[in-house]
């Protein structure tokens, strides 16, 4: 009987010590189409085998707004905002907005890429900490007259940014979703909606 109790006790301990599945939270900034949210949720679940939950819609923080070349929100400020607001039950949080977002593009030595007036406030598809807990995606530069192309772009950028959160760098493998967009939406269009074998092994 003692042996039976011991086996039951050890089984309970093993179950309780098992790793909880990681969770991704999707944070809509403003009114984002329900189908868009559903499709991103499904894509992230399938790609990373994590639980994905949708958080309550919030407005973009005013402190992130700038108007240097055009009205935009600083992506780096939004990453910090997402971290501050992230529930403890969430491991990674992906913000999504329809507004344009930007960052400052820098050279490896830290200097702003030339010409400065172009790259000090550079419009982007998305940004993420690598590794880290937050990323942001904007639909503003992903628009296309064909809804399927728009959705494909959004799915790829979302998978790409969460990949950075998980520690993945830009990948040299052609058509890997982690390939650097090199400032071109065509690169996104040509990429596959999946990680290459090497990237898959790294997560």
For 104-145, how does the pLDDT look when each residue is reduced to its tens digit (9 = 90+)? 989 888 999 999 988 998 999 999 999 999 999 999 999 999
Q: What is the mean pLDDT of the chain?
A: 91
Secondary structure (3-state) at 107: coil
pLDDT at 117: 87
Boundaries of every domain in the chain: 19-169
**Band of pLDDT at residue 77, cut at 50, 70 and 90:** very high
**Whole-prediction pTM:** 0.88
Residue range 19-169 forms a domain whose CATH class is alpha beta
CA distance 128 to 116: 22
Residues 13-46 pLDDT 10s = 444 445 678 999 999 999 999 999 999 999 999 9
Secondary structure (3-state) at 195: coil
2: pLDDT strictly greater than 80: no
pLDDT at 137: 98
H runs (alpha helix) in the chain:
2-17, 34-48, 75-85, 116-119, 147-165, 185-190, 197-202
pLDDT at 41: 98
1: pLDDT strictly greater than 90: no
């Amino acid at each position: 009987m003692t042996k039976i109790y011991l086996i039951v006790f050890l089984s309970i301990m093993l179950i309780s010590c098992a790793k909880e599945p990681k969770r991704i939270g999707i944070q809509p900034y403003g009114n984002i189409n329900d189908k868009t949210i559903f499709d991103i949720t499904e894509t992230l679940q399938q790609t990373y085998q994590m639980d994905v939950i949708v958080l309550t819609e919030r407005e973009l923080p005013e402190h992130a707004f700038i108007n240097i070349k055009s009205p935009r929100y600083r992506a780096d400020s939004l990453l910090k905002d997402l971290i501050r607001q992230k529930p403890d039950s969430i491991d990674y949080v992906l913000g999504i907005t329809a507004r344009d977002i930007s960052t400052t593009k820098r050279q490896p030595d830290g200097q702003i890429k030339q010409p400065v007036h172009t790259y000090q406030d550079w419009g982007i598809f998305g940004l993420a900490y690598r590794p880290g807990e937050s990323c942001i995606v904007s639909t503003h530069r992903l628009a296309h007259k064909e809804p399927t192309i728009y959705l494909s772009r959004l799915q790829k950028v979302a998978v790409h940014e969460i990949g950075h959160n998980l520690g993945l760098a830009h990948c040299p493998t052609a058509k890997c979703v982690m390939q650097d967009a090199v400032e071109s939406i065509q690169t996104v269009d040509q990429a596959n909606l999946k990680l290459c074998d090497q990237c898959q092994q790294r997560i």
